[in-house]
Chain A
Amino acid sequence: VAVYSKPVSHAFVIKADKVDKFLAQKADPKIMEMHRKRAALILKDDDRRADQ
């Protein structure tokens, strides 16, 4: 089980409109889908082509 926690609580002490807007900004789903599809074409067999 992966424990997943974002260590950013200290980053919200002072807020402003612009920064709030940035913090709430989400990824563009179309862009992320494009990246997912392209990566899937390269990473066909469980990272066969990408060696660390």
Chain B
Amino acid sequence: MVCAFSCGDRDKYGALDDYIQQKARCDNDTVSYLIHDEASAVAIFALSCTALTAIENGVPMPIPAVEIRIFALDEKYQHTSIENSGYTIGDFVLSVCLEYIQRMRKTSFGASNAVLYANSEESQKFYRRNGFYDFEEYMQSSSDPFLDGCFPMYLPLDE
């Protein structure tokens, strides 16, 4: 099922497809979750522990968080609205992802925020629509060169 998963545009998402198909299951830095219907994979998300780092007077203050390292929909399900709901399949999958995070926060570890790096302005709008905020000026982004050009975002989880 995962072997047929594709985010679409191979030039843009080829590396992500390769990771999902070949490496996601053995990556010790993340745990990946597959959302599927009877016949095919719909979406994959992968979670990892991280810290949201606030900088004050040059001193980094790590705040425990959960990072959504991968959030990908198969191209067949992208930009697809659920009839009469006003939401897309991506909206629902993101809610499932956050529900998993909330369950783990209640049973396994503490974390006050979810963090992710949106890889386009379009995805940034998607996450804003779902409650995420852009990083504040005092928050430190990851220095991972893989994330160059991405938009760091966070979602407070404590109610």
A residues sitting closer than 8 Å to B (CB atoms) are 2, 4-8, 10-16, 18-19, 22-23, 25-29, 31-32, 34-43, 49-52
Instruction: State the majority secondary structure of interface residues on B.
Output: mixed
Residues 143 to 157 of chain B near chain A (Cβ within 8 Å): 155-157
- 12 A-B contacts, Cβ less than 8 Å apart? A2-B108, A7-B110, A10-B62, A11-B61, A14-B57, A22-B54, A27-B156, A36-B99, A38-B95, A39-B92, A42-B93, A52-B32
B residues contacting the other copy or chain, number (CB 8 A): 41
Give the number of A-B contacts (CB < 8 Å).
109
Closest chain B residue to A21, Cβ basis: B136
User: Judging by beta carbons under 8 Å apart, are A19 and B98 in contact?
Assistant: no
User: Judging by beta carbons under 8 Å apart, are B56 and A19 in contact?
Assistant: yes
Q: Does B16 contact A (CB under 8 A)?
A: no
Q: Does B94 contact A (CB under 8 A)?
A: yes
